[in-house]
């Protein structure tokens, strides 16, 4: 008699690899053959995970269409047995799976749409933090500003797109016809974060992206201003830096600041 | 460690994100909510915020789907830690999961898989339930699952197995009315044999749900309204067990809240007709 461990290993192989050895351990019912009955488990595994991926990557599904999305999902499920207690995390490797696979090697926008959707999902239930309000700085003496260090909201995720994937995503989300995919003349920095329980994203100019990335590393505001001056000219560099920071406050992109 | 039997909560629903706002805006006549534990093992955002608000207003119980208590893989202490932390937040009236396994070798098949009903499996499950109860510092509540296959090596019936687990591990039972109905149809046993085969004093909750009918078998899909046959069996179940916290379980094709409240009212009216209003109110 097989041990419980052997039965479970065989059952799992039956689901994941289509191995029929488990059928010697289970019985026909009065109404059906064991292979058909075990098939309920085989079908449920793929169907359940496909549903989850469809929910997590709704716009990718819309972009690819039913047939291509089903093919992608089937390949992903076969290559990535779930190792998570919660199905919430099952699809986390899909962007890399698309990017590293051959199918969409010449359609970079497909992986980028997936990256954007994953980031939006991650921001949605990422860590909580009250957004820092600009009023918090009202009492600050002007000479303290150069030493300020800003703390990004913990849900903030920085992405860079080579294609117009974000525009395609937005059109599909609005149930409009997506623009034709194209490579951008220069990579587009994008920030995803959560504000008022909603995941959001917005493009960042190259200068703002540079400043955001440095700020996120803990670089002081005074040094950020010097970097901005070096990046695109000294003329009104401090004003440009201050306007970026104001935007970060206004959009809830910051969770805190401290004086270095 | 052993606590008193959990209180009778009345008639509850599964908490689903589609209904958050309506629940908070309208305070509908739902006595309690059951949450899927894994859905709230996240870091923050709207789901946890809504959960906190709803827990302030309604008694809540936690229902997991991936404890994998019958698996031969080692207990996942990281998962149990997350479950315990969530319980500290929710303060549930009880914590339940299924008498099943969900995977081995680090894989999760996201399904409630059956086991052979053998002495070996019984010893294994009982030891694991005791470990989990020691870790959580409270009794666990285990639910009978729907199944589609039976094992040649089973040495006892499902209800004998379920009952022995409850007695030996000293845990509670969640009697899923639909699952008994589905498994009885699939395996050709009588629902009443199961009903009369489990110890009354161990049952703290009922699930009532819908299922799908395939040609030769039923599938526990939780995506349909409760059918008449399951309501009939619920009637017998209530008559047998008396007042037990009852919940309508819908996981897919989630309808408007009012429709589920309607099903809940139907459950309430059945219990009232079977037991009498006085006995139900006394239980509350």
pLDDT tens-digit series, residues B251-270: 888 999 999 999 999 999 99
Specify the pLDDT at position A158: 98
Contact B115 A7 (CB under 8 A): yes
Which of A81, A86, A123 best probes binding to B when mutated, by most B CB atoms within 10 angstroms? A86
DSSP codes joined into one string, B56-111:
HHS-EEEE-S---TT-SSPP-HHHHHHHHHHHHHH--S-EEEESSB--STT---SS
Edge-to-edge strand list for the sheet holding A183-195? A157-163, A183-195, A198-204
Contact criterion met (CB < 8 Å) for B186 and A45: no
3-class secondary structure, B174:
strand
Q: Please list the pLDDT of chain B residue by residue as tens digits (284 residues).
A: 445 899 999 999 999 999 999 999 988 989 999 999 999 999 999 999 999 999 999 999 999 999 999 999 999 999 999 999 999 999 999 999 999 999 999 999 999 999 999 999 999 999 999 999 999 999 999 999 999 999 999 999 999 999 999 999 999 999 999 999 999 999 999 999 999 999 999 999 999 988 888 888 898 888 889 999 999 999 999 999 999 999 999 888 899 999 999 999 999 999 999 998 888 888 87
Three-state secondary structure call for residue B216 = coil
A-chain residues near B152 (CB < 8 A): 24-27
Task: Work out the minimum CA distance from B102 to partner chain A, whole angstroms.
Answer: 9
> Do residues B155 and B118 make contact, with C-beta atoms less than 8 angstroms apart?
yes
> What number of CA atoms fall less than 13 Å from residue A260's CA on the CB side?
15
Residue B41 to chain A, least CA–CA distance (Å): 8
* Beta pairing, strands B172-176 & B140-143: parallel
Indicate if the pLDDT at residue A226 is higher than 50. Answer: yes
Residue A47: band (very low, low, confident or very high) from pLDDT cuts 50, 70, 90:
very high
* Contact status, residue B163 vs residue B125, Cβ threshold 8 Å: no
Contact B216 A9 (CB under 8 A): no
Query: How far is Cα B137 from Cα A93, in angstroms, rounded to an integer?
Result: 36
**Residue among A15, A83, A128 minimizing CB distance to B106:** A83
What 8-state DSSP symbol labels residue A181? P
The answer to whether the Cβ–Cβ distance between A4 and B115 falls below 8 Å is yes
Measured in residues, chain A has a length of 260
């Amino acid at each position: 008699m097989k041990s419980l461990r052997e039965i479970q290993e065989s059952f799992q192989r039956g689901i994941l690899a289509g191995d029929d050895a488990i059928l010697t351990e289970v019985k026909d019912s009065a109404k059906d053959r064991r292979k058909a009955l075990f098939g309920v488990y085989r079908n449920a595994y793929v169907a359940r995970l496909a549903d989850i991926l469809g929910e997590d990557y709704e716009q990718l599904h819309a972009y690819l269409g039913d047939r291509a999305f089903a093919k992608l999902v089937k390949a992903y499920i076969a290559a990535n047995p779930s190792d998570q207690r919660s199905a919430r995390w099952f699809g986390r490797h899909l962007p890399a799976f698309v990017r590293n696979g051959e199918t969409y090697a010449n359609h970079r926008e497909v992986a980028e749409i997936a990256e954007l959707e994953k980031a939006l999902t991650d921001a949605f239930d990422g860590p909580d933090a009250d957004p820092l309000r600009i009023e918090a700085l009202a009492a600050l003496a002007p000479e303290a500003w150069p030493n300020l260090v800003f703390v990004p909201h913990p849900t903030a995720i920085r992405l860079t797109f080579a294609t117009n994937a974000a525009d395609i995503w937005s059109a599909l989300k609005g149930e409009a016809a997506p623009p034709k995919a194209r490579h951008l003349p220069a990579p587009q920095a994008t920030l995803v974060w959560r504000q008022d329980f909603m995941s959001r994203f917005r493009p960042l100019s190259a200068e703002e992206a540079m400043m955001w990335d440095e700020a996120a590393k803990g670089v002081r505001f005074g040094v950020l201003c010097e970097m901005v001056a070096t990046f695109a000219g000294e003329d009104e560099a401090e004003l440009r830096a201050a306007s970026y920071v104001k935007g970060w406050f206004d959009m809830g992109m910051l969770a805190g600041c401290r004086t270095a | 460690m052993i606590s008193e039997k959990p209180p009778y909560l009345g008639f509850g629903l599964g908490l689903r994100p589609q209904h958050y706002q309506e629940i908070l805006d309208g305070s509908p006549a739902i006595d309690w909510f059951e949450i899927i534990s894994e859905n709230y093992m996240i870091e923050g955002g709207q789901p946890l915020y809504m959960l906190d608000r709803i827990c302030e207003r309604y008694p809540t119980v936690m229902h997991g789907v991936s404890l994998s208590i019958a698996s031969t893989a080692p207990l996942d202490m990281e998962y149990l830690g997350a479950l315990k932390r969530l319980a500290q937040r929710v303060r549930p009236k009880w914590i339940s999961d299924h008498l099943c396994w969900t995977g081995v070798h680090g894989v999760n098949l996201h399904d409630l898989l059956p086991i052979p009903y053998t002495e070996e499996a019984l010893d294994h499950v009982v030891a694991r339930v005791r470990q989990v109860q020691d870790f959580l510092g409270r009794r666990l509540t285990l639910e009978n699952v729907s199944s589609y296959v039976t094992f040649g090596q089973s040495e006892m019936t499902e209800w004998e197995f379920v009952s022995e687990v409850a007695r030996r591990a000293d845990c509670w039972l969640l009697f899923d009315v639909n699952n008994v109905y589905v498994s009885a149809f699939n395996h050709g046993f009588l629902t009443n044999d199961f009903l009369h085969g489990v110890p009354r004093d161990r049952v703290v909750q009922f699930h009532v749900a819908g299922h799908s009918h395939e040609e030769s078998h039923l599938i526990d899909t939780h995506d349909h309204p409760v059918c008449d046959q399951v309501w009939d069996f619920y009637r017998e179940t209530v008559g047998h067990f008396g007042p037990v916290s009852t919940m309508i379980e819908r996981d897919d094709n989630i309808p408007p809240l009012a429709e589920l409240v309607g099903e809940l009212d139907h459950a309430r009216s059945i219990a009232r007709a079977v037991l009498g209003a006085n006995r139900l109110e006394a239980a509350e």
